[in-house]
Amino acid sequence: MLAIIGGTGLTELEDLRVNKRVIVRTPYGEPSQPLIFGEICGGEVIFLARHGSGHTIPPHEVNYRANIYALHLQGVTEIAAVATVGGIHQELSSGMIALPHQIIDYTHGRQNTYYDGISNPVKHIDFTEPYCNKLRAKIAQAASEIDEEVINYGVYAATQGPRLETAAEIDRLERDGATMVGMTGMPEAALARELGISYAAICPVANYAAGRGDSLHAINYEDVVLNLNQTLVRVRNIIGQLMTQHYCPVDTK
């Protein structure tokens, strides 16, 4: 089963026909909100808003372990996670959509593993390729089918938040090889890998990162919200096509 995790600006899926909402309790606490079970074009999907239904949970306070484990308990095998980013590379301007293939983790103090040596023995997962290439290919194909442009690569820098970065910090991230910056990519991707769940990120670019493009001296939050809302319409279209192509029952009549 596929799950969609919604990030900033995506607290619901407009095309989702809701069947039920389920409160799930896990050994790691409760997820950000009850899981929403529904259908898009007849295909079953679970939706979870990462920051809660009212976007009240900041990125460093999200209970990532509970979120991913709750989906795991429901039999989820694939996660398409929507994660808003700022563009570091010049081609990642406002309104672009990227499917990153790599990630660099700059977060700290987050509960980032199920194998903590306390409740579970220590285990080292392979994380050479942090995102599932098969799921990334499905998303890219869905975008292509509806003529939505996506950049099918990129290095996601996961920062702590909730504040935005300084221009000097963005310079450092660029030197490290990052092309985009966000606050929720980790430990979400690693936790999914620990549980054997295929995971890919859909990253709408809300703005240029600090010190870049029209964010050279400051980031205009009103512009960020406007750009993000427009881009998320296209993200929803891609998700709808993804469901249609790969997860909806085929009519054999």
Yes or no: say if 84 and 180 are a contact pair by the CB < 8 Å rule: no
pLDDT tens track for 194-212: 999 999 999 999 999 999 9
Q: DSSP string of 88-131?
A: -STT--TT-EE--SEEEE---SS---S--SSSS-------SS-S
62 within a domain of the structure (yes/no)? yes
113 within a domain of the structure (yes/no)? yes
pLDDT tens track for 43-85: 899 999 999 988 889 999 999 999 999 999 999 999 999 999 9
Yes or no: say if 230 and 95 are a contact pair by the CB < 8 Å rule: yes
Quickly tell me which residue has 């490290």 as its tokens. 176
**pTM of structure:** 0.93
Task: Give the range of the structural domain holding residue 151, as residue numbers without chain letter.
Answer: 2-246
Terminal C-alpha separation, the chain: 24
- pLDDT (tens digit, 0 to 9) for every residue of the chain, 253 residues total? 999 998 765 656 767 888 899 999 999 999 999 999 998 878 899 999 999 988 889 999 999 999 999 999 999 999 999 999 999 999 999 999 999 999 999 999 999 999 988 878 998 999 999 999 999 999 999 999 999 999 999 999 999 999 999 999 999 999 999 999 999 999 999 999 999 999 999 999 999 999 999 999 999 888 888 888 899 999 999 999 999 888 887 653 3
251 within a domain of the structure (yes/no)? no
User: Total domain count for the chain?
Assistant: 1
